[in-house]
Amino acid sequence: MTLKALRLLDREQAILEFQRRVLAQAMREDVPLLERLRYLCIVSSNLDEFFEVRFSDLLDALRDKSGDIKHEDVERVGAAAHELIDSQYAIYNDQLMPALQQRGILIRNHAERNETQRRWVARFFEREVRPLLVPVSLDPAHPFPQVANKALHFIVKLSGKDALGRDSPIAIVKVPRVLPRVIRLPQHVAPGEQCFVLLSSVIRAHLTELFPGREVVSFSQFRVTRDSDLEFDEDLVGNLRHAVRSSLTTRHFGRAVRLEVVRSCPEELYQLLLRQFDLPDAALYRVNGPVNLVRLNELIDQTQAPDLRFEPHEPVWPQGRLPRQKPMFDRLAKADVLLHHPFESFEPVIKFLRQAVDDPEVLAIKQTIYRTGTESVLMDLLVEAARRGKEVLAVVELKARFDEEANVNWAERLEAAGAQVVYGIVGLKTHGKMLLVTRREGSGAKRRLRRYLHLSTGNYNPRTARFYTDIGLLTADPALTADADAVFGLLASTSHMRRMHKLVLAPFAMHARWCGYLEQVRKAAAAGHSARVVVKINALTDVELIEALVACGQAGAQIDLIVRGACRLAPGVPGLSDNIRVRSIVGRFLEHTRVMYFRWGENEREEALYLSSADWMSRNMRGRIELAWPITEPKLRQRVIDEAIQPYLHDGKDAWRQDARGHYARVDPEGQSAQQALVERYRAE
């Protein structure tokens, strides 16, 4: 069978399949109850982003007639999203809420609240909520108000006349985002229980008070999801930071792509909303529960029930390889250090930068900034380094989706402190993660400059480093540090770069490097030699890499792909992908590590092991600055294989196996969890 017979799986369907795997976590009885609810919230958050980005891109492609997108494609994806959201609310109502109620954790609606609780809620509404509500009755002088992306509103139908004796039957009430969505009732009105009320229920119970002299006939919560991609032509803007800052003000009011209402919403109200937002019937989602389940994270945070959460996990400091008390530069001058998060602490990375800031012999610090968060000790340290007069170069990616505002703010703070801030290369996102320190060492004739480097598969974000799996490398390797310095030079000046010694850089060489290794594997397999590929990534959608993998498998190579999210390669197709297996790991931690292993013979010179910041997607290979680096030191190489590959190939508990149609099934619910095994392994050290 030829490669022409290869049928790529649909990318949007693959993304939704991943959300189904996450949603399945909410049904696992071996997962603590509040964590099951958290998975439900994660799915809602992920679906918001799916509509804001992926689904809106589909609609754009359909409208612009770009690509092969047809109406039936959009309808198919929409139907799959409807099915997934219906399943989500069924789990919420039929499984999680009854289970929480059995544990004395309740969400009380108005009908379920007793008289004492209703009086408390009424006082809360009058004191905390009503002063912030401004109902808008629709008439020629009061047009439909601006409705921001994902902001909660009520639509209300009224009877009677307004203060001037006119008919204005429809009103809109915006729910301020500053108000908590989940309110815990005090013990004196809910003794012996952990009792909560939703803000939407509080407002619903007191809607009539917002319209004195009129009767509320019907009403519904609603929420609109909008296209949230920032759109501007980088080639035409004079200052990228100003363009991003300006675009952020309009992001919340992009084209509407989804309308959510409660299931009880009358048809005349949701039809009015569909017309207002120029949406088809298929864009309507009538949900059986709270609009926006994401905000139930507030209930999880307020609930006092340690036994309903995962056992606390504290990442360990690698004391044996990196003694806390010794200067890090002395240690790194002798050997590289590998850090495996979240099993090992992210603190050594912070300490590395802090010692660089405090060390008078450190002259320059260069760092890429992608997702650091609104509060970041690392960014504070960079600011301090600039204030102390060190040469600081920060490559800030302003277009890191949904982190743009935080990154603009950090860029401005760094510039104000005296750092040199650049925004990479026009048209390319800077997604590679590296932190380079240049230090003056020695004395007299032996005085010289030496560089130290941190590379990572994940972001410089201490918070997410506690629940994302990633691998970082601290090194003083002259070849790697020289390569990193050259990459910073490229990002700062777009000058021509010399040939890399060890680093592999996208979009210049990475795609060709992976294709080259796969071709070596294919030739070895065709010649009857040992041939093996293991790739652990977050997404596999690049067509050429998929074709190269299939060619390897057809030649006889054994291929295991550990793909957390979307995978367009259909494994197990007779005569085409028989030798390819695809699995996905969905567990307590978010799998984020990218590892590539290739073998095309029997000895060590015929294999390669790489870590990378890049997934195997066209956007990563061609539209981003990405990094990959080899792991060749025997002990470190074995650690990567033993910790980031082998456990995941044998995981049963958190593993899902993909079939040729793109559907997934749990491997072995009674089996072992790779993540839990690694947690226990590091605790024992």
Beta strand pairing status for 558-563 and 580-585?
Answer: parallel
Q: Tokens 């891109």 identify what position?
A: 57
3-class DSSP state of 297: helix
Interior/surface letters 434-469, b for 16+ CB within 10 angstroms, e for the rest: bbbbbbeeeeeeeeeebbbbbbbbbbbbbebbeebb
| Omega within 30 of 0 (cis) for the link into 507 | yes
Instruction: Say if residue 401 carries a ligand binding annotation.
Output: yes
3-class DSSP state of 194: strand
What is the number of other CB atoms lying within 10 angstroms of the CB of residue 88? 22
Instruction: Say if residue 188 carries a ligand binding annotation.
Output: no
Length of the chain: 685
Q: Pick the catalytic residue from 206, 341, 431, 511.
A: 431
Tell me the C-alpha distance between 322 and 556, whole Å: 43
Instruction: Say if residue 46 carries a ligand binding annotation.
Output: yes
The residue type at 138: L
Strand ranges, E, within 571-659: 580-585, 590-591, 594-599, 607-612, 624-630, 655-658
Tell me the C-alpha distance between 407 and 462, whole Å: 16
Beta strand pairing status for 337-341 and 194-198?
Answer: unpaired
Instruction: Say if residue 511 carries a ligand binding annotation.
Output: no
557 CB burial (10 A radius; 0-12, 13-18, 19+): buried
Q: What Cα–Cα distance (Å) separates residue 176 from each residue in 151, 206, 290, 341? A: 8, 16, 16, 38
Tell me the C-alpha distance between 209 and 529, whole Å: 79
Tell me the C-alpha distance between 309 and 313, whole Å: 11
Residue 454 annotated to the active site: no
Tell me the CB-side half-sphere exposure of residue 306, using CA atoms within 13 A: 3
Nearest to 223 by CA among 144, 154, 129, 171: 154
Interior/surface letters 276-309, b for 16+ CB within 10 angstroms, e for the rest: bbebeeebbbbbebbbbbbbbbbbbeebeeeebe
Instruction: Say if residue 371 carries a ligand binding annotation.
Output: yes
Nearest to 104 by CA among 43, 184, 220: 184
Q: Tokens 């997962």 identify what position?
A: 31
685 CB burial (10 A radius; 0-12, 13-18, 19+): exposed
- List, by residue number, the catalytic residues: 431
Numbered residues of the known binding site: 46, 371, 401, 468, 564, 592
Numbered residues of the known binding site for Mg(2+): 371, 401
